[in-house]
Structure 1
Amino acid sequence: MDLLSMWEGTANNSMNRSLLEGEECCDVVIIGGGFTGLSTAYHLQEKQCSTIVLEQGKVGCGASGRNGGEVLTGYLGSMEYWTEKKGLHAAKKMWQLSLDSIDLIENIINKHDISCDFKRNGDFLAAYKPSHLESMKKDQEFMASKLNYYGIDIVEKNEIKNELETSFYSGGRVDYKSAHFHPLNYTLGLAKAAEKLGAKIYERSEATGVKRNSKNKFIVRTDKGKVIADNLVIATNAYSGDLNKIVKKSVVPVESIMIATESLPEDVVEALIKNNRAVSDTKNLLYYFRRTGDNRLAFGGSGRASSKRDQNRIYENLLEGMLSVFPQLKGTRIEYRWGGKVGFTQNMLPCIGQLKDGAHFAFGYGGHGAAMASLLGKTMAEDILEEGDPDNPLRIKKLRSIPFHNQHSKAVGVMKFYKQFQDRFFG
Structure 2
Amino acid sequence: MQNLTLNPAITSSTTSQLVEHDTRHSLWLATANATPALPVLDASRRADVIVVGGGYLGLACALQLASHGVDVTVLEAATPGFGASGRNGGQVIPGLKYDPAELTSLFGPAQAENIIAFASATADAVFDTVARYNIQCDAIRQGWIQGAHNDSMLRTTEQRARQWIARGANAQLLDGPAITQMIGCAPGLYRGGWIDRRAGSVHPLNYALGLASAAIEQGAHVFQQSAATRIERDGRDWRVITQQGASVSAPQIVLATNAYTDELWPRLRTSIVPAVSSQVATDPLPTQLRSLILQEQQVVSDARRLLHYYRVDAAGRLIIGGRGNQPSRQGVQDYQHIRRALEATFPQLTGVSLPYRWSGRLAMTRDSMPHLHQPAPGITIALGCNGRGVGLTTAIGQAIADHLRLDNGAALPFSVTPIRPIPLHKLHRLYIAVAVQYFKIRDLF
2:258 to 225, 228, 237: 237
**d(CA) in 2 for partners of 1:10, 1:144:** 36
SS of alignment partner, residue 208 of structure 1 = strand
- Aligned pairs for 1:94-243 within 5 A: 94-145=115-166, 148-166=167-185, 167=187, 168-213=189-234, 215-224=235-244, 225-243=246-264
Question: Could you tell me the TM-score, scaled by structure 1's length?
Answer: 0.94
After superposing on structure 2, the runs of 4+ consecutive aligned residues of structure 1 that deviate more than 4 Å are: none
AA of the residue aligned to 1:356: A
What's the counterpart of residue 71 of structure 2? 50
Which residue of 1 is the match for residue 39 of structure 2? 18
Task: In structure 1, give the amino acid aligned to 2:425.
Answer: H
Q: Which SS does the other structure have where 2:22 is aligned? A: coil
What code does the residue aligned with 1:290 have? R
**Which residue in the other structure is 2:355 paired with?**
335
Change beyond 3 A, Cα 1:162–1:89: farther
Counterpart amino acid of 2:336? E
SS at match of 1:249: helix
Q: Per-residue displacement from partner, 1:323-348 (whole Å, max 9, x unpaired)?
A: 00001001221011000001112211
Partner of 1:32: 53
**CA distance 1:223–1:389, change in 2 (3 Å):** closer
Q: Which residue of 2 aligns with 1:396?
A: 416
Contact 1:305 1:314 in 2 (8 A): no
Q: In 2, Cα distance between the equivalents of 1:264 and 1:19?
A: 40
Q: Which residue, out of 270, 274, 294, partners 1:253?
A: 274
Q: d(CA) in 2 for partners of 1:267 and 1:396?
A: 52
Q: Is the 8 A contact 1:269 1:297 kept in 2?
A: no
Contact 1:352 1:376 in 2 (8 A): no
Contact map agreement 2:279 2:320 (CA 8 A) in 1: yes
Residue from 352, 355, 369 that aligns with 2:372? 352
Equivalents in 2 of 1:56, 1:277: separation in Å?
Answer: 33
C-alpha distance in structure 2 between counterparts of 1:46 and 1:307, whole Å: 38
Q: Contact conserved, 1:19 with 1:205, CA < 8 A, in 2?
A: yes
Cα distance, 1:110 vs structure 2: 1.1
Number of residue pairs aligned between Structure 1 and Structure 2: 421
The alignment's C-alpha RMSD in Å is 1.7
For residues 336 and 417 of structure 2, the distance between their equivalents in structure 1, rounded to whole angstroms, comes to 44
- Quick one: structure 1 residues 307 and 353, their matched pair in 2 at CA, closer, same or farther if it must change by over 3 Å? closer
Q: Which amino acid aligns with 2:393?
A: A
Shift of residue 403 of structure 1? Answer: 2.0
Structure 2 vs 1, CA of residues 107 and 141 (structure 1 numbering), >3 Å: closer, same or farther? Answer: closer
| 1:272 match: secondary structure | coil
Q: Secondary structure at the match of 2:267?
A: helix
Q: Secondary structure at the match of 2:268?
A: helix
Choose from 391, 395, 416 the match for 2:436.
416
Match of 1:280 among 276, 289, 301: 301
* Matches of 2:441 and 2:417, distance apart in 1: 37
Change (3 A) 1:211 1:398: same
2: CA distance, partners of 1:320 / 1:283: 16
2:16 corresponds in structure 1 to none
Q: Does 1:83 align with 2:75?
A: no
The SS at the match of 1:245 is coil
Identify if the C-alpha distance between structure 1 residues 231 and 387 changes in structure 2 by more than 3 Å, giving closer, same or farther: closer
**Secondary structure at the residue paired with 1:124?**
strand
**Which residue is equivalent to 1:384?**
404
Aligned to 2:91: 70
The verdict on how the C-alpha distance between 1:270 and 1:91 changes in structure 2, with shifts beyond 3 A counting, is farther
Amino acid at match of 2:357: R
AA paired with 1:318? I
Contact 1:128/1:169, CA 8 A, preserved across alignment: yes
Q: Give distance in 2, aligned partners of 1:406 and 1:40.
A: 31
Indicate conservation of the 8 Å contact 2:169/2:196, yes or no: no
Cα offset, 1:267, TM superposition = 4.2
Q: Could you tell me how far 1:106 is from its partner in structure 2?
A: 1.3
The answer to whether residue 62 in structure 2 is matched with residue 41 in structure 1 is yes
* CA-CA distance at 1:392 after TM superposition: 4.5
TM-score, normalised by the number of residues in structure 2: 0.91
Please tell me whether the aligned partners of residues 52 and 201 of structure 1 are also in contact (alpha carbons under 8 angstroms): yes
- Aligned partner of 2:7 in structure 1 is none
Where do 5+ consecutive residues of structure 1 fail to align?
none
The secondary structure found in structure 2 opposite 1:212 is strand
**1: CA distance, partners of 2:379 / 2:404:** 10
- 2:343 aligns to what? 323
Q: How does 1:278-317 map to 2 (within 5 A)?
A: 278-306=299-327, 311-317=331-337
- Does the 8 Å CA contact 1:210/1:218 hold for their aligned counterparts? yes
Q: CA deviation at 1:91?
A: 2.8
Residue 95 of structure 1: SS of its match in structure 2? Answer: helix
- 2: CA distance, partners of 1:142 / 1:39: 29
> How far apart, CA to CA, are the structure 1 residues paired with 2:241 and 2:414?
30
Gap change, CA 1:88 and 1:63, over 3 Å in 2: same
CA-to-aligned-CA distance 1:1-44 (integer Å, 9 cap, x gap): 33332111101111232211121111111110000100111111
Deviation at 1:240, TM superposition (A): 0.2
Partner deviation per Cα, 1:197-229 (whole Å, 9 max, x = no partner):
11111111110100111x221111112211111
- The answer as to whether partners of 2:238 and 2:252 remain within 8 angstroms in 1 is yes
Q: C-alpha offsets along residues 375-398 of structure 1, whole Å, 9 cap, x if unaligned?
A: 111111112123435374522232
Deviations 1:117-174 (A, max 9, x none): 11111100011112211222223333344xx234221111122233111222211110
